[in-house]
Amino acid sequence: MVVFAGQGDARRSMALLWRTPGSGGARSGPGPKPGLTVDEIVDAAIAVADAEGMAALSMRAVGERLGRTAMALYTYVPSKSELVDLMYDRALAEMPTAYDLGAGWRAAVTAWAEDGWSFYLRHPWVLQVSQARPVLGPNEYVSLETTLRILRATGLEAGVLRRLVGALVHFVRGAARTIAETRQAPAATGVSDEEWWYARSALLLEVVPDFTERFPMVAWLGAEAQDQPGDASVPYLEREAKATFKVGLTVLLDGIEAIIGRSGHLAGPTRPLGPPGG
Amino acid sequence: MVVFAGQGDARRSMALLWRTPGSGGARSGPGPKPGLTVDEIVDAAIAVADAEGMAALSMRAVGERLGRTAMALYTYVPSKSELVDLMYDRALAEMPTAYDLGAGWRAAVTAWAEDGWSFYLRHPWVLQVSQARPVLGPNEYVSLETTLRILRATGLEAGVLRRLVGALVHFVRGAARTIAETRQAPAATGVSDEEWWYARSALLLEVVPDFTERFPMVAWLGAEAQDQPGDASVPYLEREAKATFKVGLTVLLDGIEAIIGRSGHLAGPTRPLGPPGG
DNA sequence: CAAGTTACTTTATGCCATAAGGAGTTGCAA
DNA sequence: TTGCAACTCCTTATGGCATAAAGTAACTTG
């Protein structure tokens, strides 16, 4: 039998994620009582990442917040990367798990997307957790199940549904990422967005005096943006990002409606809409 | 007059990006001749990032590729972050700058999105360059101008157009990111996707024996995915990601058509479609 | 030819994750 | 009751990172 590299570690991290008995809290045997729990460490780590960004998340920073050294954490968590996995899954628990389909799938998807949007803005670092080797934790699946329950109401077949979920998630994450990164930047660099843009656009015109001739469409769009009135209490970039989110979502939902119309005509009687008994 | 922090540095990096005279190549004055150019360094850095990912991009690695120490690079480039900006803008130069609108905007946007897709897969690290403080280099604007020239053909007004560009970019980047991260992972961890998934899903069923009952929709969608025949030469994840990209793009384009239809009816005669003389 | 400028190196500082090796605490078995 | 094994938590490497500081050598201009 082939034993893949790290399979032992994989078992431990799965146990941690799913809170298999014995992986979480108080022990019985000899030795000093644990002064911390995995949950406390995960919470502290989330607090650090929320406040100072993923880049500032170090084992030392988390340990300090709990009155320990960096190395103390390794008693509870195998490595930083497993800690990030735990943070990710724990944060995901904040996502709502039920949506009312009474007003139709479109309203439900809109609510879901808005919830995702505000979730990512609450925890911007989540967007930096790689999806390559996904965190197969309980809340990832709860969240996916919730999304699928909504989208099943479109009546589309499984293959299209699967890809639709992907496309929607790509869009929501991408839209949120813009603001998430924007919000990290001032804290990280000590320069506000206004200062930065003011200085940079002055420099741009200095270095590229013929900007308007070289990039007429860009200049035109920029000029039109100036004209818009706006609530000054919300920074311009945030207002614009939210507007992009709304427009994009409308477009996506309109597109889904179009596909539903087509598949209804083309495919005749629809395929089964879910698992037996769903 | 207020001098913002780092404005001097900002001027230098703008000069580097836009290749203002004196910022690039051979000098005249005393001292040894420069053995390198900024371009050579940027190319070497891109080569490192393409081959080993953004995480492996260190000043040492770039220097080594050029037979220098890490510190030698600081003669040419103010810091690593400026180097990344230069890499970003230089890579962006690969994006096509002209699209035929003869077959309509829909065909052109599709071609544009496909080009973006393959660009991001050629240079996955580009997706890790923060958009918070955008790299205001020439090729960013060339690329934006190109996109706008295509989308102007939709006849939509400036505000909607601006947000549409954002939404499309979010989607393309998001879709590409999935594969980009997937491709980095095996090299970074030494475990192939197949091995990883095989081990992980076995563990999942072991830790969560009641998976199908807890997540019926997820299980259903997973089962349906198994049934699909597929070209075995392309890894499953990549095939699926490409399919997500195609479905999502179709949905977006259908949605744009829907919006065009509505705005035509509601807004009456359209607003000017671009800059004067565009 | 001397002086100043510049390319490039070595060395040092202070971060980071984490391996290794204690030190002290606790429960259980002899 | 004693002593050992297990355990938490600490200190101290080790090797990576960006980059500051200072040194060396090459080159041009006065």
Domain boundaries, chain B: 10-92, 105-263
In angstroms, the CA B209 to CA B40 distance is 55
Quick one: which H or E segment has residue B51? helix B38-52
Q: What is the pLDDT of residue A30?
A: 85
pLDDT of residue A141: 98
Smallest CA-to-CA distance from A113 within A153, A150, A140 is with A150
Residues whose CB is less than 8 angstroms from the CB of residue B216 and which lie 6 or more positions away in sequence, other chains included: A145, A274, A275, A277, A278
pLDDT for B273 beyond 60 = no
A255: nearest CA partner in chain B: B255
8 Å CB contact between A124 and A48: no
Tell me if residue B165 falls in helix, strand or coil: helix
CB contact under 8 A, A248 and B164: yes
CB B244 within 8 A of CB A167: yes
Indicate whether B8 pLDDT > 60: no
Other residues' Cβ atoms within 10 Å of the Cβ of residue B101: 14
Instruction: For residue B83, give the nucleotide whose C1' atom is nearest its CA.
Output: D18
**Does the structure show a pLDDT above 80 at B238?**
yes
Residue A86 pLDDT greater than 80, yes or no: yes
What is the enclosing helix (H) or strand (E) of A88? helix A80-92
Instruction: Tokens 């479905």: give the residue.
Output: B247
CB contact under 8 A, B199 and A7: yes
Please give the residue of chain B at the shortest CA–CA distance from A144: B218
Q: Do the chains contact at A149 and B217, CB–CB below 8 Å?
A: yes
Distance A40 CA to D8 C1' (A): 16
Residues of chain A contacting residue B250, judged by C-beta atoms under 8 Å apart:
255, 259
Nearest to B132 among A181, A198, A247 (CB): A181
Nucleotide nearest to A36 (CA to C1'): D8
Q: Report which DSSP code applies to A210.
A: T
* Average predicted confidence (pLDDT) for chain A: 87
Q: Which residues in B lie closer than 8 A to residue A214 (C-beta atoms)?
A: 141
For residues B131 and A178, is the Cβ–Cβ distance under 8 A?
Answer: yes
pLDDT bucket at B25, cuts 50 / 70 / 90: low
CATH number assigned to the domain with residue range B105-263, chosen from the 4 options 3.40.190.10, 3.20.20.80, 2.40.10.10, 1.10.357.10: 1.10.357.10
Contacts of B248 in chain A (CB under 8 A): 163-164, 166-167, 170-171
Taking the C-alpha atoms of residue A123 and residue A42, their distance in angstroms, rounded to an integer, is 13
Provide, rounded to the nearest whole percent, the portion of chain B with pLDDT above 70: 87
pTM > 0.75: yes or no: yes
Between these two residues, B31 and A125, which has the higher pLDDT value?
A125
Contact (Cβ atoms closer than 8 angstroms) between residue B223 and residue B216: no
Contacts of A196 in chain B (CB under 8 A): 4, 133
Superfamily of domain covering A10-92: Homeodomain-like (1.10.10.60)
Q: Which has the closest alpha carbon to B38: B56, B52, B61, B20?
A: B20
